[in-house]
A and B are shown apart, each in its own frame.
Chain A
Amino acid sequence: MPPVSRGFLGRRRDAADAARLPPGQYLVEDFPVLTAGPTPHSPLDEWSLTIHGAVDEPKSWTWEEFRALETETFTVDIHCVTKWSKLGTTWTGVPLDALLEEIGTEADYLTAWSDGGYTTNLAVEDVSDGRAWIVHTFEGEPLEVEHGGPARLLVPALYLWKSAKWVRGLSFTEEDEPGFWEAAGYHNHGDPWREQRYWSD
């Protein structure tokens, strides 16, 4: 039993919102920015998305080709390991399932990599069957660069560091290879409902 903080009342929220908050998270209305380095600014005419590694057919899309792919618009809650959660965020993007279908892979893992050198590792099962998208639109507007625009991965069931901003590629691997934060003390899987924040969780 944790010690009671003398005189601490806290700010309760209504039960419906509280049920949507994973343990240790608090609700925000704005959209905080967390990035380990500078924000990269890539011109769209130099942008591409590449899927490679342990795949049947590596493939690359230019921005125009990527934007021509069929999209989904969906509303999800998002959870950052630094403890804020944002409920009911609406995004538009390409479901990862559609991309996976095009390249074909038996691999169990992938590393998403981004402009600026960021990487994060994911199990394929965590990004398939409607669990992940590459999004380019947030609340009906082009995704702002500090939030990962022009396009970022979005895996809402995991802490947000798994949703690589400025994503430029997915590299499929046979073995699970820790990414940037995963090698720096953060949990390999990152399920907010199991509060998998750090290595020790």
Chain B
Amino acid sequence: MRETIEETAHARTLALDVPGWPGHRAGQHLDVRLTAEDGYQAERSYSIASAPELDAVELTVELVDDGEVSPYLIEEVIPGDVIEVRGPVGGHFTWSVDDGRVLLIGGGSGLVPLMAMLRHRAARASTVEARLLASARSEPDALYRREIETLRPQEGLAVDWTYTRATPAGWKGFARRVDAEMLAAVGPGPSAGARVFVCGPTPFVESVSDLLVDAGYDPASIHAERFGPTGG
């Protein structure tokens, strides 16, 4: 464990030095295995947040109430600790700038693998068209908000936030759950041939991917990653 970064009141980024790391593709995840002194083990998967181009492997972990692993990773682990990891894992929910234009839609900590894609795009200084629609409960709950704001001026990148519970003073952006009208406003539309990545809690992904299909997006172009209330 190289360093930890507090992202929000309930999410933390862990930067790991992984000896012999084979490299990853943006969107892949990593298995973390914890071992207690008596040999008891618990394993979970976490999305990789960092760009493949970065020399550390970063995970952003959101606290799962009543979880088994996330409270340990958020409250207990300190730099210098050794954590057993395995990966990268996953070959479907991945994107590189060579794959062409992309629409990214994230809910809550579903933003994590999408951030790896945006960081990869930035590291490659790519101008390939990318649109991000990020849904969070409120501004303080929004992951990576400052960093995403610094990316916003990049050529070819469009960013929209929607806050579903509370908005900052003077907010002029979206302030509701993702709906058909919002998707139409964000674009790029079904005929653009973009790859679409949707990640978030199960009801979010079910709803957004249904809306995309109804709007005419090719189901085969929609890559979805869901996480349940369980986990931990």
Contacts and interface: CB of A to CB of B under 8 A. Distances in A.
**Real binding pair:** yes
Interface of A: 2-12, 24, 26, 28-41, 82-84, 116-117, 146, 180-181, 184-185, 198
Interface stretch (B11-19, B107-115, B162-170, B202-210): B202-210
Contacts of A12: 40
Contacts of A11: 42, 68
For chain B, the bracket of interface size reads 35 or more
Interface residues of B, dominant DSSP? mixed
Contact of B36 (A9, A82, A83): A9
B55 interface: no
B223 to A, nearest CB: 7
A36 B93 contact: yes
B230 A29 contact: yes
Interface of B: 31, 33-37, 40-45, 68, 72, 76, 81-84, 89-93, 202, 206, 209-210, 212-213, 219-220, 222-224, 226-232
Contact of B210 (A3, A38, A198): A38
B81 A5 contact: yes
A84 B232 CA distance: 10
A154 B35 CA distance: 32
A28 B230 CA distance: 7
Nearest to B220: A117
Contacts of A38: 209-210, 212-213, 219, 222, 224
18 contacts: A3-B82, A7-B72, A8-B36, A8-B42, A9-B36, A10-B36, A10-B40, A10-B41, A10-B68, A11-B42, A26-B43, A26-B44, A30-B229, A32-B228, A40-B219, A41-B210, A117-B219, A184-B91
